[in-house]
Amino acid sequence: MSFCERKISMVQKILIIGAVALGPKAACRIKRLSPETKVTMVDQGSLISYGGCGIPYFVSGDVSDASQLQSTSFHMVRDEKFFREAKDIEVITRTKAKSINRARQVVLVEDLQTGEEKELPYDRLILATGSRPRRISVPGSDLKGVFTVSNLDEAMAIKTKIAAGEVGKAVIIGGGAIGLEMAEALSDLWGIETTVVEIADQVLPGVIGKAIARMAQNHIVEKGVSLQLSSRVVSMEGDGKVSAVVTEKGPIETDMVIIAAGVIPNSDLAGDAGLRLTERGAIWVNSRMQTSDPSIYAGGDCVEIPNLITGRPGFYPLGSMANRQGRVIGTNAVGGRANFEGAVGSFVIKIFDLSVASAGLTLGAAEKAGFDPVSAFVVQFDRAHFYPEKDLLYLELVADRKTRQVLGIQGLADKGDSMLARINAVASLLRHKPEVAEIGNIEIPYSPPFSSAMDIINALGNTAENIIEGRNKVIEPEDFASWWENRGKGDAFFLDCRGWGNAEPFVNKYPDHWISIPQDELRARLGEVPKDRPIVLICNTGVRSYEAQLILNQAGITNTFNLQGGMAAIKKSGIRL
Amino acid sequence: MSFCERKISMVQKILIIGAVALGPKAACRIKRLSPETKVTMVDQGSLISYGGCGIPYFVSGDVSDASQLQSTSFHMVRDEKFFREAKDIEVITRTKAKSINRARQVVLVEDLQTGEEKELPYDRLILATGSRPRRISVPGSDLKGVFTVSNLDEAMAIKTKIAAGEVGKAVIIGGGAIGLEMAEALSDLWGIETTVVEIADQVLPGVIGKAIARMAQNHIVEKGVSLQLSSRVVSMEGDGKVSAVVTEKGPIETDMVIIAAGVIPNSDLAGDAGLRLTERGAIWVNSRMQTSDPSIYAGGDCVEIPNLITGRPGFYPLGSMANRQGRVIGTNAVGGRANFEGAVGSFVIKIFDLSVASAGLTLGAAEKAGFDPVSAFVVQFDRAHFYPEKDLLYLELVADRKTRQVLGIQGLADKGDSMLARINAVASLLRHKPEVAEIGNIEIPYSPPFSSAMDIINALGNTAENIIEGRNKVIEPEDFASWWENRGKGDAFFLDCRGWGNAEPFVNKYPDHWISIPQDELRARLGEVPKDRPIVLICNTGVRSYEAQLILNQAGITNTFNLQGGMAAIKKSGIRL
């Protein structure tokens, strides 16, 4: 403290470029630590300090008024007046920072209304310049009716157009978080016929794996949204105003296009001033959020920080990152000592009635990063199975085969909170590089209305361990789907380990492929098990089929595959039998 | 693996004493790893492998049938037949283990129906002898109508008596988890006039601190349950059948008494065999869950394991512990290698419409363990404040002042799952001894329907840091209540930092004590602040009052106290102004 206080007095003027998320957070932290410091925030927009992540909820109407996104939890609008009176912070809006003179410690700014230029001096400079939407450079992308979701002004333009009844059909380019949230906003709440075009072969690429993506896609399509995966936009057409998006698969008629293809860090101001940039073109910072010039800090969407699992630079354009980094910068800017070591990457989205979350690496990302990953998939109730109200959770754990290090977790559920209660327990842990056994013993509070005595999160760790140790030989719903499609070739039998009541309809419908031997009868009925081809073992969720696999192993029948997640996963994935 | 497999063949016979929670888990794990091993479970009861934690829900009727507590999630009753056919495990019920001959590796058992005795041999023995309810040795405690909640048989007796209409009034002795769950079961679902008598000065002693306990107590009383705290039972009265519980405060008429005063580990069998016991009288085990005889394992309610925060032995009689330890024992008993290092202690309970959870140490427990703890209390919405559906969460963080190590977390909320999403994130982390700054940067997934950009869990870590650094000088609702009661003495002013609209009714009602200066006007109105006595700063949740404290500090007014949790905490605590 005394060290901080001594240094604090030396910092007289702090200038912040950008006043949406990180800027205001850093500014307020500075004033709390050092009330005498003069803090000035400059922003090129007219709206400041708003919750950009709330834009889809503003467009949908869930948030009725844009000012709610700009308000505090106690209903004060965070405008220039608020910052001046409640926080003693000066805010200059509609003003663009044009260049930094590091030698003289001044920033040249231009008033966007008058064109007037002036220099603002600083002792410490904070760059909170954010990001901009990635544009798609195809013919017609500059037509009227083509939007991005980059800021509150643009969101208001979209909502105005919709509310005016001008949009019957819409195309969203990008099946990431913003794209899917906008798809829900348009289709569910405004009844707009909506198509999402995604260049990857799944929604939320990089954030969730294929198994959970398939379940999410099934839900989105059930909700009436059209989904074009593995599809590239070739052009946009229209007479002044967009009327169609043309993909490799053909044209899609539309009244509006929303481009949600990710964001690019705004680093020109920093780059032009000779600050170090990363390969991606973001601003480089150390763990104190200092740029290569120790007087200049940067954070939020304009920087990269280390991924704590891979050790490589990571890009996390999220309001939550900006807020936490803003506090660290605020502390350091007045001589305190705070660190932001990096991130593991965490994610959650509500899509219609479904919640999808993740933390850390997917199987694909782990492979790319050089790990030898396995994936465990468990379906189980969120409460004790005897508790009356309960829902199924679908969780996936990714771990490295050799070191057993847990690399990531993903989840899907109807009830998002109880799913997050598990995801968060692992999200907070990932930076400590836990092994799968630690997840098997993770100590979340237990009581029947909230969890199970052997909770799904523990079962997930144990399942990963069994897979790594070669005891549980598994396939995913995706694999099942392709084996099932090709069942006519006779490559495999499908052995149903559930009670006869569950198995009967399938045995009757597919007598050549589907066999029923309940797990508790398997020891006595080993003779009925075909031994001439691979066997896919199936039960409700994958627990009894694992038991069955062990019994078959003991009997020398080892060419078996346990369907992870069982029929519950099959159903949720929209695979029809 | 090859090491495991080699050793597995050497273990021929495994005997397990106790077949409720840990026993069946260990047995199943053993059979999965080593199908050839012969596993026998012995239990003195007739009902085995049931979810004991579900007993209150069975009594309430939420779980309609006792067999549901004994079933798998796929509706198979886990009885002797199930274990034999589905698991190849032998179960002997109604049979008591009387002594262990460690030299000859046999256990003498008695058939409780026939009185017949015999010896069962073992290569590895597993003690899953559980615990028994702590009895209260007062006159009359052996009267008819006095129950414990020790097992499913007794729960059925309670339910039968209630269903027969014999219980209009009930007294529950013990305000711990089971006592409160039973209070809800009796009063909410059966309409029984219920009194809970607790010897400590709060409910859930040792598990939650006073601030959150007060909120829970307020809710329980609002729901119509009578609560006698700091009250000792002196005797029970009745003519053959209990008709009153007499406490230090007088008699309470009743038709039924349920004693829920904790449990005692069943360690006689182990102690008599010369196995090492702990000071508490539990069975001592190492991190592989081996007793002082390496051929004998023990786990669940009959053992103590290290508390990972204090390093001292801890007693955790929970079904979740039993299950996880059972798996570890199963692995080790057949030559595998698994560890159970200890526990931090985690807890959750649903009480009527309220959920209360904790992990790690309370302030009081931390003091007892020799720490110099501080407590941060934060009230904030569980979602982005602009998201339409949201609820307030009440979280408390306990941390050591010197080392900044996080020692525990507690929470209270109407919606338990979103509260647990935060508690669990810290529960899993506690064993890594995080500092408060790690909680400030904890990386739970962010999206407006699930969390805030600066989430309550991060705010909690930051608040603890501010308190430790002496920046945020706080009082608890409990302190506020006593200052407020004594306001006539003129010891303090109460400064309301909210808008005038919120403050007005209090200023009008208490013009001599309650002052209104909204935080955003404070800089301009410093002259109005009284300087002759301490000032309690109040806002909705404690955020603006903290800002106000910093502004006053800057102006040299330092004799101020920020009410943590603000009016939201006051209201939830049932403190009336």
Could you read off the pLDDT of B309-368 as tens digits, one per residue? 999 999 999 999 999 999 999 999 999 999 999 999 999 999 999 999 999 999 999 999
Q: Say which of B349, B384, B423 has its CB closest to residue A51.
A: B384
Do A6 and A89 reside in the same domain of the chain? yes
Rounded to whole angstroms, the Cα distance separating A290 from A332 reads 9
Structural domain count of chain A: 4
Tokens of A242: 């967009």
Report if pTM > 0.90: yes
Query: What distance in Å separates residue A187's CA from the closest CA in chain B?
Result: 18
Q: Is A455 close to B320, i.e. CB distance below 8 A?
A: yes
Residue A140 lies inside a defined structural domain of this protein: no
The nearest alpha carbon in chain A to B455 belongs to: A320
Rounded to whole angstroms, the Cα distance separating A46 from A154 reads 12
Q: How many CB atoms lie within 10 A of CB A107?
A: 24
**CATH code of the domain covering residue B491:** 3.40.250.10
| Bridge partners (DSSP) listed for residue B77 | B71
Rounded to whole angstroms, the Cα distance separating A421 from A246 reads 42
Query: What distance in Å separates residue B212's CA from the closest CA in chain A?
Result: 17
Rounded to whole angstroms, the Cα distance separating B381 from B400 reads 26
Residues A53 and B446 sit within 8 Å (Cβ to Cβ): yes
> In 3D, which of B91, B92, B131 has the Cα closest to residue B114?
B92
Query: Does residue B64 carry a pLDDT above 90?
Result: no
Q: Span A186-195, mean pLDDT?
A: 94
Q: Say which of A32, A441, A521 has its CB closest to residue B550.
A: A32
Tell me B307's DSSP state.
B
Tokens of B165: 């209409």
**CATH code of the domain covering residue A415:** 3.50.50.60
B/e letters for A341-361, b = 16+ CB within 10 Å, e = fewer, are ebbbbbbbbbbbebbbbbbbb
Interface with B, mutate which of A420, A422, A456, A526 (most B CBs under 10 A): A420
Q: Say which of A71, A428, A544 has its CB closest to residue B429.
A: A428
Q: Say which of A69, A357, A454 has its CB closest to residue B323.
A: A454
Better-scored residue on pLDDT, A160 or B1: A160
Q: Say which of B440, B450, B543 has its CB closest to residue A416.
A: B450
List the single range of A133-142, A270-279, A421-430 with lowest mean pLDDT: A133-142
Query: What distance in Å separates residue B550's CA from the closest CA in chain A?
Result: 6
Q: Is A450 close to B71, i.e. CB distance below 8 A?
A: no
Q: How many CA atoms lie within 13 A of B362 on its CB side?
A: 16
| Domain span holding position A85 | 2-52+64-132+264-333
Rounded to whole angstroms, the Cα distance separating B72 from B75 reads 5
Do A159 and A255 reside in the same domain of the chain? yes
Q: Is B323 close to A453, i.e. CB distance below 8 A?
A: yes
Residue A414 lies inside a defined structural domain of this protein: yes
Better-scored residue on pLDDT, A422 or B67: A422
Query: Does residue B5 carry a pLDDT above 60?
Result: no
- Whole-angstrom CA distances from B43 to B130, B263, B291 are 11, 19, 20
The nearest alpha carbon in chain A to B392 belongs to: A73
Residue A151: which pLDDT band, with cuts at 50, 70 and 90?
confident
Going by their DSSP bridges, the two strands A313-314 and A303-306 should be labelled as antiparallel
B/e letters for B3-13, b = 16+ CB within 10 Å, e = fewer, are eeeeebeebee
pLDDT of residue B109: 98
Tell me A387's DSSP state.
S
What residues contact B217, with CB distance under 8 A and at least 6 apart?
B202, B203, B227, B229, B574
Residues B244 and B138 sit within 8 Å (Cβ to Cβ): no
Residues B155 and B140 sit within 8 Å (Cβ to Cβ): no
Among A232, A261, A290, the domain boundary falls at A261
For B102-156, how does the pLDDT look when each residue is reduced to its tens digit (9 = 90+)?
Answer: 999 999 999 999 999 999 999 999 999 999 999 999 999 999 999 998 788 888 9
Residue B343 lies inside a defined structural domain of this protein: no
Do A532 and A516 reside in the same domain of the chain? yes
Using a CB-CB cut-off of 8 Å, the residues of chain A touching B498 are 74
The single-letter code of the amino acid at B130 is G
Tokens of B201: 């000065």
Do B249 and B169 reside in the same domain of the chain? yes
Query: Does residue A352 carry a pLDDT above 50?
Result: yes
Query: Does residue B402 carry a pLDDT above 70?
Result: yes
Rounded to whole angstroms, the Cα distance separating A556 from B213 reads 58
Better-scored residue on pLDDT, A556 or A10: A556
pLDDT of residue A11: 62
Among A333, A365, A385, the domain boundary falls at A333
* Residue the block writes with tokens 């941060």: B376
Using a CB-CB cut-off of 8 Å, the residues of chain A touching B543 are 73-74
Residue B347 lies inside a defined structural domain of this protein: no
Among A261, A283, A310, the domain boundary falls at A261
Do A12 and A161 reside in the same domain of the chain? no
* Residue the block writes with tokens 């990302």: A365
For A267-285, how does the pLDDT look when each residue is reduced to its tens digit (9 = 90+)?
Answer: 999 999 999 999 999 999 9
Q: How many CA atoms lie within 13 A of A128 on its CB side?
A: 34
DSSP line for A468-502: HTTSS-EE-HHHHHHHHHTGGGT--EEEE-S-HHH
The single-letter code of the amino acid at A557 is I
Tokens of B272: 């008599």
Q: Say which of A324, A444, A447 has its CB closest to residue B424.
A: A444
Query: What distance in Å separates residue A243's CA from the closest CA in chain B?
Result: 32
Q: Is B450 close to A417, i.e. CB distance below 8 A?
A: yes
Average pLDDT, chain A: 94
Q: Is B74 close to A499, i.e. CB distance below 8 A?
A: yes
Tell me B53's DSSP state.
G
Interface with A, mutate which of B323, B447, B540, B557 (most A CBs under 10 A): B447
Query: Does residue B254 carry a pLDDT above 60?
Result: yes
In chain A, the percentage of residues whose pLDDT exceeds 70 is 98
pLDDT of residue A6: 43
For A448-497, how does the pLDDT look when each residue is reduced to its tens digit (9 = 90+)?
Answer: 999 999 999 999 999 999 999 999 999 999 899 999 999 988 789 999 99
Residue A346 lies inside a defined structural domain of this protein: no
In chain B, the percentage of residues whose pLDDT exceeds 90 is 87
Do B247 and B303 reside in the same domain of the chain? no
Q: How many CA atoms lie within 13 A of B318 on its CB side?
A: 26
Residue B2: which pLDDT band, with cuts at 50, 70 and 90?
very low
Rounded to whole angstroms, the Cα distance separating A455 from A422 reads 9
Do A209 and A87 reside in the same domain of the chain? no
Q: Is B74 close to A539, i.e. CB distance below 8 A?
A: yes
What residues contact B19, with CB distance under 8 A and at least 6 apart?
B27, B41, B42, B43, B45, B48, B49, B91, B93, B128
Rounded to whole angstroms, the Cα distance separating B435 from B442 reads 11
Q: Is B446 close to A53, i.e. CB distance below 8 A?
A: yes
Q: Is A421 close to B420, i.e. CB distance below 8 A?
A: yes
Do A428 and A464 reside in the same domain of the chain? yes
Do B328 and B364 reside in the same domain of the chain? no
Interface with B, mutate which of A89, A321, A429, A447 (most B CBs under 10 A): A447
- Strands, E assignment, B267-413: 283-284, 296-298, 303-306, 313-314, 346-351, 354-360, 373-381, 392-400, 406-413
Residue A23 lies inside a defined structural domain of this protein: yes
Do B6 and B127 reside in the same domain of the chain? yes
Do B25 and B108 reside in the same domain of the chain? yes
Residues A546 and A504 sit within 8 Å (Cβ to Cβ): no
Query: Does residue A5 carry a pLDDT above 60?
Result: no
Q: Is A523 close to B443, i.e. CB distance below 8 A?
A: no
Query: What distance in Å separates residue A493's CA from the closest CA in chain B?
Result: 22
Q: Is A465 helix (H, G, I), strand (E, B) or coil?
A: helix
Using a CB-CB cut-off of 8 Å, the residues of chain B touching A412 are none
Provide the sign of the torsion angle of the four alpha carbons A79, A80, A85, A89, taken in this order. positive
Residue B59 lies inside a defined structural domain of this protein: yes
Residue A141 lies inside a defined structural domain of this protein: no
Q: Span B497-519, mean pLDDT?
A: 96
Query: What distance in Å separates residue B316's CA from the closest CA in chain A?
Result: 11
Using a CB-CB cut-off of 8 Å, the residues of chain A touching B358 are 445
Using a CB-CB cut-off of 8 Å, the residues of chain B touching A342 are none
Rounded to whole angstroms, the Cα distance separating B249 from A332 reads 58
pLDDT of residue A49: 80
Using a CB-CB cut-off of 8 Å, the residues of chain A touching B301 are none
Do B123 and B174 reside in the same domain of the chain? no
